[in-house]
Structure 1
Amino acid sequence: MNHDNHQKIIPFLWFDGKAEEAINFYVSVFPDAEITVMKRWPETMTTNGERARQGTIHVGGFAIGGYQLYAFDAAPMAKFNPSISFFVVFETETEVNTAWSKLIEGGEELIPLNKYAWSDRYGWLTDRFGISWQLYKGKLEDVGLRVSPSLMFSGSQRGKAEEAAEHYMSVFQDAISNGMTRYGANEGGPEGMVKHGQFRILGQTFMVMDNENENDIPFNEAISFFVKCKGQQEVDYFWDQFTKEGEASMCGWLKDKFGVSWQIVPDFFMSGIETGTPEQTQNMMDALMQMKKPDVERLQQALNK
């Protein structure tokens, strides 16, 4: 079942052979989670002349409370870190505690699960795969969907959370700010910087914050945001908006001016991989490997060969 038909921006998790194990784990942790796709790399598939590892995941998908995430396996370029975490809202303390007890196994506590001024039950951890989760007791209606990506700006990007939120809202246009709270004089963090900010893009909640300390935790390719585009005009628009002061890469990948990774790809691409034959998948991947910005017509031709 596809949940991502109306979700334009989908987090994409890059694993090194552990995608299937991780997806199965997350579906066991969250009560309203389900697997949406699990497609392995074809045995004959090559990328850049290298054969994919047999049995690993080409595209995996899972949804938590209807919020879609993608995952795949490939030789890693970067490791997961807390620069991007997933903020998960539960309405009862029991649900928070249950999810925490499962996620913390083999993981690491970043902020202890406890009562805080902003929530009766909150904690931040990194699980055994390296993915970071913020678990929070609150009202689902305040955020819309159970899961929201949270971006933490640190190092050379520290202090840019508000600028980034404004930038993303201007790029996607159908957006609204839910406000910003700032560090006060005696709160430990840098006074005036963003302690917590929320905004919605196309109905999806995103969160931003400036790191309260000086640790440099840079954004990287391990977690990217996949943008489903309705044709070449949209591909061109998002590509131009994000590579302006950013950095273009191959295969539809780019980094914006804050270092956040995005994949700008036509909407049929993922469904083509999910439902296509090994030959169609190989043709489409071969075509994409030759591109920086995706050429929608050429990709469609490759799929239809």
Structure 2
Amino acid sequence: MRTFTPNIWFAGDAEEAAELYARVLPSTRITRTDRYPTEGLLPFQEQLAGKVLTVMLSGPGCDLVHINAGPEFRPTPASSFTVTFGAADDPGAVAALDAAASALAEGGRVLMPLQQYPFSDRYTWVEDRYGVSWQLTVAFPDAPAEASIVPTLLFGGPAQDRAAEAIAEWTALLPGSEVVRTVPYPEATGPAASGAVMFAEVRLADQRVFVMDAGSAQDTTFTPAVSYQLACPDQAEIDRLWTALSTVPEAEQCGWCVDRFGVSWQIVPANMDELMERPHAFEHMMEMKKLVIDDF
């Protein structure tokens, strides 16, 4: 289990989305599927008994967990995934990017058209039919040319110009984290102030992450539809991260919390699979806010 794993909430179509992503994203495959139990569910979950609960995909540099649930949450472009298909001079990478852009845009919408930009020889930003946003590109200048999937956070709306603050907090909080590089806005750009984060690459625990302040006005921000799971070695680490990150009491549920920037986290034990094999584990988990290992 990775320490840092993005989770995406789907309205009953997690399997369908996983099959699409495994088909069009580079070197990505479905590695595991888990099902809801048949008892111990909350009333709103009863129709899901025995159905798929989560689907895990493994991609280049990033795992993704799909949560099969209801229509309560929908992703926004504030939480996207930047997918690099390879080098700009690799015809195969360009063809794969173009094919993925077409497949992902079907039934969705194009946020930035497929073309050359100052920062990439070929790039597009699409929101797919499930609401998930993808930034598809060939390798950025001076960046690794191999395929990769990188979680990307856009600070806009109520979180505007808070990217640097979040980066400082998260990298200090998560062991093994570091700021790889930061590019500031040289002057005020839309709602972004001069010196705000135009682009940053950070490593949060074992995951490469991109972070940006929005350079154009945003009418959406982070939602629980994309959350970031943190796997902890023991209860002390769960307690430490929970105390630091949970700032919205009404959002606390079975390991989920929301920080002061509006970003959702799932703070879980690293041996979660083992704990979930215990009798009535799912029922016990649903009764918790912060997860307590001894209560499973």
The verdict on a shared fold, with TM-score over 0.5 as the criterion, is yes
Identify the residue that residue 200 of structure 1 maps to in structure 2.
Answer: 203
In the other structure, the counterpart of 1:284 is 281
**Superimposed CA distance per residue, residues 174-228 of structure 1 (whole angstroms, 9 cap, x where no aligned partner):** 1221222233348556342222111112342111111222223121111111111
Q: Name the CA distance, whole Å, in 2 between partners of 1:145 and 1:240.
A: 36
Tell me, in whole angstroms, the C-alpha distance in 2 between the residues paired with 1:184 and 1:157. Answer: 20
Distance 2:272 2:147 in 1: 25
Q: For residue 297 of structure 1, what is the aligned residue in structure 2?
A: 294
Given candidates 222, 233, 236, the residue that maps to 1:219 is 222
- Closer/same/farther in 2, CA of residues 235 and 187 from structure 1, 3 Å limit: closer
1:303 paired residue number: none
What letter corresponds to residue 100 of structure 1 in structure 2? Answer: A
SS of the residue aligned with 1:46? coil
What does residue 53 of structure 1 align with?
A: 48
Shift, 1:9, TM fit: 0.8
CA distance in 2, matches of 1:210, 1:295: 35
The answer as to whether partners of 2:8 and 2:226 remain within 8 angstroms in 1 is yes
Select the residue among 155, 159, 178 that pairs with 1:153.
Answer: 155
Aligned to 1:106: 107
Residues in 2 aligned to 1:112 and 1:28: alpha-carbon distance in whole angstroms: 22
Q: 1:164 aligns with which of 166, 184, 195?
A: 166
Q: Which amino acid aligns with 1:103?
A: L
- Deviating more after overlay: 122-131 vs 283-292: 283-292
Match of 2:60 in 1: 65
CA contact (8 A) 2:84 2:136 kept: yes
Change (3 A) 1:223 1:36: same
Deviation at 1:272, TM superposition (A): 4.8
Q: 1:10 aligned to 5, 28, 53, which one?
A: 5
Identity of aligned residues (%): 31
Equivalence for 2:89: none
Indicate which of 28, 32, 44 corresponds to 1:37: 32
* Letter in structure 1 aligned against 2:82: F
Kept in 2: contact 1:288–1:294 (CA 8 A): yes
The two structures have a TM-score, normalised by structure 1, of 0.86
CA–CA distance in structure 1, aligned partners of residues 40 and 147 of structure 2: 36
Query: Is contact 1:61-1:69 (8 Å) kept?
Result: yes
Give the gaps of 5 or more residues in structure 2. 87-92
Paired with 1:110 and 1:271, the residues of 2 have a C-alpha distance of 41
Moved more, 100-109 or 139-148: 139-148
Structure 1, unpaired ranges of 5+: 300-305
Contact 2:85/2:147 (CA < 8 Å) preserved in 1? Answer: no
Secondary structure in 1 aligned to 2:48?
coil
Aligned residues of 1:183 and 1:189 also touching (Cα < 8 A): no
